[in-house]
Amino acid sequence: MLKTRTKSKFKEFLLNQGLKSTQQRELILEEFLRAGSHLSTEDLYLRLRKKNPRIGYATVHRTLKLFAECGIAEQRHFGDGQARYEASDQDEHHDHLICVTCGRIVEFEDPRIEQLQVEVAAEHGFSIERHRLELYGFCSDCRQA
Amino acid sequence: MLKTRTKSKFKEFLLNQGLKSTQQRELILEEFLRAGSHLSTEDLYLRLRKKNPRIGYATVHRTLKLFAECGIAEQRHFGDGQARYEASDQDEHHDHLICVTCGRIVEFEDPRIEQLQVEVAAEHGFSIERHRLELYGFCSDCRQA
DNA sequence: TTTAAATTGAAATCCGTTTTCAAACGGATG
DNA sequence: CATCCGTTTGAAAACGGATTTCAATTTAAA
Ligand SMILES: [Mn+2]
Ligand SMILES: [Mn+2]
Ligand SMILES: [Zn+2]
Ligand SMILES: [Zn+2]
């Protein structure tokens, strides 16, 4: 999603919820969109500190949760015990390939798998709300090493 | 897997590792196999306490990790922040459907999905070591309520 | 037995997450 | 502007599950 679009969506969200637009929230969103994906609260906090030492971890944490609530970010868990966030691609969905050696994360989307998930769920009387699919293995670089 | 088979596999594991067979480990394995699947350390600990108040949480925790190391149990994470364990079905693999309302967990296995996972990974140069597929939604009971 | 090593369990510690609370800020109002 | 009130901030504390510590106990080999 375009940065400008994302920013205005967040502004609108704040308005609707009776929340305030603050210097910190703008800084955090700016840096979140600038930085690469799948970063932890700590990651983002450290990046922000470099430019603005007056920002608190708690604020970064709370703001990332606001992003998720607003729909401009998604929280992920890749099994290393810490939450990670990535910017939402509007209605786009994707799953992840994770290299267990170097930590590299590759995103993919496979409509066939998505479809089969729905079918399997239906066979068991379930309707799916969301899912999580993560493939852990070795990326090409790490496999030949 | 048969209980007897599982128990001897664990005994053998202990021997190979130079570990000792203790009263606690036998009690814990016994109760683990008796209880239903997908239970947390706390769950198992509480069940054990009823019959034997002299057992410690730390021991249950350590023993479950031993089970996993030995291959007779598998650790799972369903996103509620606590680890769960289930007995291994030898080489059998399965994934999970989880009802977000009542917590019901249904196991399934779909070779078509498994196959597509391998293909998708290969397309990105990955070889898969393991994966995690969880479908969250509403079971038939909870949907009509 | 005796002995050395492994195990136990209560309590302490770890570590990411979340909350608390007093001070600072945002923005609506006149 | 100046005032006011609800919101936000950030340091520190609390939280919660996982893990470790360590002195006492148990295991099993000698
Ligand atoms: Mn992603
Ligand atoms: Mn299962
Ligand atoms: Zn790699
Ligand atoms: Zn249900």
CATH of domain A3-87: 1.10.10.10
Is 0.75 surpassed by the pTM of this model? Answer: yes
Residue of B nearest to A81 (CA): B81
Q: How far, in Å, CA of B137 to CA of B131, rounded?
A: 20
Residue carrying the six token digits 């202990």: B14
Q: For chain B, what percent of residues have pLDDT higher than 70?
A: 99
What is the pLDDT, as a whole number, of residue B1?
66
Identity at B59, one-letter amino acid code: T
H-run or E-run covering A105: strand A105-108
| CATH code matching the domain that covers B95-144, chosen among 3.30.1490.190, 3.40.50.1000, 3.30.70.3040, 3.40.50.1220 | 3.30.1490.190
The three-point CA angle A94-B84-A93 to 5° equals 10
pLDDT digits (tens, 9 = 90+) for B103-140: 899 999 999 999 999 999 999 999 999 999 999 999 99
For A28-72, what is each residue's pLDDT tens digit?
Answer: 999 999 998 999 999 999 999 999 989 999 999 999 999 999 999
The reported pLDDT for the residue numbered B144 is: 80
Write out chain B residues lying below 8 Å of A128, CB-based.
135-137
Nucleotides of C under 7 A from a protein CB: 5-11, 15-20, 25-27
| Averaged pLDDT, A16-21 | 96
User: Residue B32 in 3-state DSSP?
Assistant: helix
Which residues are bridge partners to B97 per DSSP? B106, B135
CA–CA separation, A76 vs A102, rounded Å?
Answer: 18
Give the residue extent of every domain in chain B: 3-87, 95-144
pLDDT at A140 over 80: yes
